[in-house]
Amino acid sequence: MSRTARQSPVPGEPVPPAAARDIVPEPVVTTTAERYVMGGSRAARLAIKEGDLFLYTNEVGQASGTPDSVLGLYCRDTRFLSRYELRLANRAPVLLASGADRGYLATIELTNLEARSADGRAVPQATLHVRCTRYLADGLFETVRVRNHHRQEVEVFLDVHFDADFADLFEVRGLRRRRRGLRLPPRYRDGVLTLSYLGLDGVLLATKVHFVDRPESMRNGRARYRLRLPPGGRVTLRWAVTVHEGEEAPAAPAAPSPTAHDFTARLAALRRDHERWHDGATEFFTDNEDVNAVLRRGQQDLRVLSAVVDGERVPLAGVPWFVAPFGREMAFVGLETLLLDLRWARAAAAFLAGRQGRRDNAFREEEPGKIMHELRRGELARLRVVPHTPYYGSVDATPLWLLLVAEVAMWSGDLDWFAAMQPHVEAALAWIDRYGDRDGDGFVEYERRSRVGLRNQGWRDAADAVAHADGSLAEGPIALAETQGYVYYAWRRLAALYGETGDVERAEELATRAAALKRRFNEAFWMPEEGYYAMALDGQKRQVRTVCSTIGHALWSRIVAEERVAAVVERLMAPDMFSGWGVRTVSRDAATYNPVSFYNGSVWPFDTAVTANAMKKHGFVNESNRLAWALVEAARQHEYARLPEMYCGFTREELHRPVGFPMACSPDANAAAAFFLVLQSMLGIYAQADANVVYVHNPALPRWLGEVTVSNLRIGRTTMRLRFRREGGQTALAVLDKQGPGRIVVVE
């Protein structure tokens, strides 16, 4: 047993059941980087997702099932297929092309190597064409079409290998277990292959492969088809994979296997469902096709990344590592997409309110009023080996959630909704005072309480992410600069909202506290010799003087003193911070700088988008537009015009395209939402729907964007269509249509 496992339980922690004590948890609880680093990640290039299911394969569309592989079919933090491989004439096929631009559907084009047919005749290379079309709905639906382009008849075997290790995602990411549950022998009956696992928690998991076109034989999970194809002949094979949790027996009666008609009908229904969702959102059209592509991709990825959890369609953080609800990420997605679709913000606010902390539990770092960090639903969470049921180790999810609630109320004008949320709001405000500021110095800090918790608990949550200028790690409790900004911003927006509801006393109290926090922040965090703010204050109230990007978040919150805004903007745009593709997480001159790291020099699109929005708020239009164009060009260099979670921080002049980060999530919800926040800042659209006012504050389109049309924009009870056009260096607004009582007020 490891030293960590031998430690006495932290007061308030549950003692894991005996079965769970055979698991060594260190890789889960040390650093974010360790949780990401996986062999073979660069080879895993094809991902599709729908609901709780996602399939992550290599570019050939296959998963090898080798011990170090991260590939497979996953659902709710469990891998239900670890091996998924096709062989043609006993050889691996050759990739011609593959793609998954729709997010829930992938197409793979393959051909054959030179081989021998079943009767011993030669089959020349590149004479068989294989097209695999797969999508995810309530299972994985695969259609394989094989065509013979040889001038002779061909008889070959097509084999498909299925296996399931039922690994928990934490295992896939590096957690070591001494003991696992029981894998049951494969079972094939009536055209259904069943792979099963009885977990240490007593839950039975099963993967079922339903063959519409039954194979000739089945052996140890290998389905074998004998294909006889005349010249020009074709054959179509179909199967569906469904996942099951909690069945009494692996051979328990199941719903009828899908038919060939079901494959077409379910795909059509899935397409309609996506289209209906998009129809409820704001529509954007610009005269720059690169911008249009980024916006389309972002909107599609948000829908693909979402899942209905307990009745709420919420965005999950990213494929493959974070297909789970995250408090901070949900809040940021909601704040980034206010202009696009208020449903994201509203659902996130409600979902997180439903999981707000109720008790003091050190193992989960739960406290009354606190907003969750991460929810996991796999075997290790059920065994309470990991604290993610949910885990609350986030210092900033609570103030960001408060800000989100305020913005939903402002953009929707639904004060009844806010009234229903008010008990949760008051509990979150109380958490800031009682638990967020434990030492009473007026700043919100964090310090790990759980032995299996995160050392750092801001959005830069790797163990090495908060370091002094000499490279030494800061010790807690740690007060992050951006967290103080989030608290300030939330207090200020809630003060305005309470004023609208008539609670003048509460409004004045929050406004007064926000002003006092701003004064304290500017006294404690400012570094005169750097002309910039410190990353944080450590446990001894010393400044953590590493120059970092999160001061852009402080700028976004308006906690930065007005006379220092210009200096902060200049520093963020300096060559050591601005890579040409976005803002680096730390300065290139920092002791901890590493362009191939999570938070010590990489570029995160959502981080850059927040900074761009902040600069526009303060009137730095040119700087904001430079960051916006950097994101557009970065997206153009990525597949499907998709911004990934992050990319490396190399300077643009050194490498003329952004360098991908091997373990970055793609698609990623925060990155998908990022450009909508940038566009909102360009157009200057803000809302006070309860007063039926839509503000357009200093709209400013850049040179590379001549016109933007915004249709189906819903703010409160008003729906409108607006056109922004750049004319002679100025941006003009035209109201093309407006239905409802809202007034549009242009503010220069």
- The count of other CB atoms within 10 Å of the CB of residue 232 is 10
Residue owning tokens 């296959």: 62
- Reported as a single tens digit per residue, the pLDDT across 661-705 is 988 999 999 999 999 999 999 999 999 988 899 999 999 999 999
- Residue 288 dihedral angles phi and psi, to the nearest 5°: -115, 110
Q: Considering the domain boundaries, does residue 738 fall inside one?
A: no
Whether residues 217 and 341 share a domain: the answer is no
Q: Considering the domain boundaries, does residue 21 fall inside one?
A: no
Q: Considering the domain boundaries, does residue 161 fall inside one?
A: yes
**Which pLDDT score is estimated for 255?**
54
In order, the DSSP letters of 253-264 are --PPPPPHHHHH
Provide the CATH number for the domain around residue 116: 2.70.98.40
Whether residues 268 and 319 share a domain: the answer is no
| Radius of gyration of the chain, Cα coordinates, nearest whole angstrom | 27
Q: Considering the domain boundaries, does residue 4 fall inside one?
A: no
Whether residues 256 and 288 share a domain: the answer is no
Whether residues 434 and 414 share a domain: the answer is yes
Give the closest residue to 52 by CA, choosing from 336, 258, 244: 244
Whether residues 74 and 219 share a domain: the answer is yes
Give me the torsion for CA of 262, 265, 268, 273, rounded to 10°.
Answer: -90
Element (H, E) at 395: none
CB of 630 within 8 A of CB of 581?
yes
- Reported as a single tens digit per residue, the pLDDT across 185-208 is 999 999 999 999 999 999 999 999
Whether residues 261 and 302 share a domain: the answer is no
Whether residues 375 and 466 share a domain: the answer is yes
Provide the CATH number for the domain around residue 353: 1.50.10.10
Q: In Å, what is the CA distance from 288 to each residue of 13, 232, 293, 705? A: 55, 44, 9, 6
Whether residues 335 and 186 share a domain: the answer is no
CB of 38 within 8 A of CB of 56?
no
Q: Using CA atoms, how far apart are residues 389 and 13, in angstroms rounded to an integer? A: 13
Residue where a domain terminates, one of 272, 295, 330: 272
Whether residues 514 and 561 share a domain: the answer is yes
Residue 614 CB-half CA count within 13 A: 31
DSSP classification of residue 432: I
pTM metric for this prediction: 0.93
CB of 620 within 8 A of CB of 626?
no
**Which pLDDT score is estimated for 250?**
38
Ranges of the chain whose pLDDT falls below 70: 1-44, 247-256
Whether residues 608 and 628 share a domain: the answer is yes
Residue where a domain terminates, one of 636, 664, 683: 683
**Which pLDDT score is estimated for 121?**
86
10 Å CB burial of residue 81 (0-12, 13-18, 19+) is buried
Q: Considering the domain boundaries, does residue 608 fall inside one?
A: yes
Q: Considering the domain boundaries, does residue 483 fall inside one?
A: yes
Whether residues 94 and 77 share a domain: the answer is yes
Domain total of the chain: 2
Q: Considering the domain boundaries, does residue 714 fall inside one?
A: no
**Which pLDDT score is estimated for 311?**
87
Whether residues 287 and 259 share a domain: the answer is no
β-pairing verdict for 115-116 and 122-123: antiparallel
The terminus-to-terminus CA distance of the chain in angstroms comes to 66
Residue where a domain terminates, one of 243, 272, 301: 272
- Give the structural domain span for 676: 280-683
For residue 171, the Cα-to-chain-centroid distance in whole angstroms is: 20
Give the closest residue to 736 by CA, choosing from 716, 722, 717, 746: 722
Q: Considering the domain boundaries, does residue 747 fall inside one?
A: no
